[in-house]
Amino acid sequence: MRVLAAYNIKGGTGKTATAVNLAYLSAYYGARTLVWDLDPQGAATFYFRMPERRGGGKRHIRGKQDLDSLIRGTDFEMLDLLRASFAYRNLDQTLAETRKPLERFAKLIRPLTKDYDYLIFDCPPGINLVSESIFFASEALLVPTIPTTLSVRCLDLLTEHLERNGPQSLRVLPFFSMVDLRKSLHKTICNAAPGKGVRFLKTRIPYASVVEQMGVRRAPVSVFAARSAVDYAYRALWDEIQIELDAPAATRAGQDLQRQTQAPGS
């Protein structure tokens, strides 16, 4: 099972859209896929037409309840969801009360290894114990980044933090999200290949109203807006991510924490 996390320190960058749309494509191409909605706002859960769980947000994090019993099938074959709980607002606290909180998520998901090919975390924004524990459980972070100064700065904060504290095996795969090339700032930043020691994925997700419509249609973009620019972009992104995950170290995009001495922009 490959474990990916849609993650950004900053909010509102398209993490949930990333998790939901890529998970849908993963399942569509035949991989058994699970989304774990960790955001107490429960946007992914809402998109998949399920109610948030009330309470019970602690027992399974503490390992007192079988995760499998909480998983539901979505409207799409091969795609399951572990719903968000409003109790996840205190997840940091809950985690702090467990033994070895950093290894908590890695341990929790171990029994799922046989049942799924991909697990995608939809993470809440911020950087805290929860995100640290997710870093340890994941193979790669998918970081949707809006081409603005503040977003790029958040990415720099993340990579600097991971260089010092991150698990060695974790890869950071940033890509531009909500890109509007009519805005000169977006254009400049996209072309400047910013980021300290991080190469962005080639695929950019354009800014488009179909992404917002996910909330109205309560479905992934590829379902109700097949052949739209966003649909194509997510398909290209998923292909690129898979190639990146299998690529030998020397040709990898993103940031390879084991080679943190790389020159910026290389």
Return the number of the residue (111 or 126) whose C-beta is nearest other proteins.
111
Does the footprint of other proteins cover residue 240 (CB under 8 A)?
no
- Rounded alpha-carbon distances, angstroms, from residue 118 to 75, 101, 124, 248: 17, 23, 19, 20
For the CB of residue 52, give the shortest distance to other proteins in the complex, in Å.
Answer: 11
Which one of the spans 67-75, 133-141, 150-158, 179-187 is the region binding other proteins (CB under 8 A)? 67-75
Q: Pick from 63, 66, 77, 153: which binds other proteins (CB under 8 A)?
A: 77
Residue from 115, 139, 156, 163 touching other proteins (CB under 8 A): that is 115
> Among residues 76 and 136, whose Cβ is nearest to other proteins?
76
By CB under 8 A, tell whether 103 contacts other proteins.
no
Task: Give the start-end residues of each E strand in the chain.
Answer: 2-6, 33-37, 71-73, 79-82, 118-122, 140-145, 171-176, 255-256
Q: Terminal CA-to-CA distance of the chain, rounded, Å?
A: 30
125, 218, 229, 260: residue in contact with other proteins (rule CB under 8 A): 218
Q: Count H helices, E strands: the chain? A: 10, 8
When the beta carbons of 84 and 208 are compared against other proteins, the nearer one is 84
54, 64, 99, 114: which one binds other proteins (CB under 8 A): 114
Cβ neighbors of 59 (< 8 A, separation 6 or more) are 65
- 127, with CB counted inside 10 A (0-12, 13-18, 19+), is middle
Using rule CB under 8 A, residue 139 touches other proteins: no
Residue 34: name the closest of 94, 87, 104, 83 by CA: 83
Question: What length does the chain have?
Answer: 266
Nearest to 8 by CA among 225, 197, 175: 175
Nearer to other proteins, 157 or 223 (CB): 223
Nearer to other proteins, 90 or 228 (CB): 228
- Among positions 8-47, residues that touch other proteins (CB under 8 A) are 28-32
Phi, psi angle pair for 220, to nearest 5°: -65, 155
Q: Is 80 in the site for other proteins (CB under 8 A)?
A: yes
Q: How far is the CB of 107 from other proteins (least distance, A)?
A: 18
Q: What CA–CA distances, in Å, run from 122 to 7, 19, 130, 234?
A: 7, 6, 12, 16
Q: CB 186 → other proteins: shortest distance, Å?
A: 34
Which residue in 8, 18, 21, 74 binds other proteins (CB under 8 A)? Answer: 74
Size of residue set near other proteins by CB under 8 A: 21
**49 within 8 A of 72, measured Cβ to Cβ:** no
Out of 66, 75, 97, 103, the only residue in the binding site for other proteins (CB under 8 A) is: 75
CA distance 61 to 63: 5
- Contact residues toward other proteins (CB under 8 A) are 28-32, 48-51, 71-75, 77-78, 80, 114-115, 117, 218
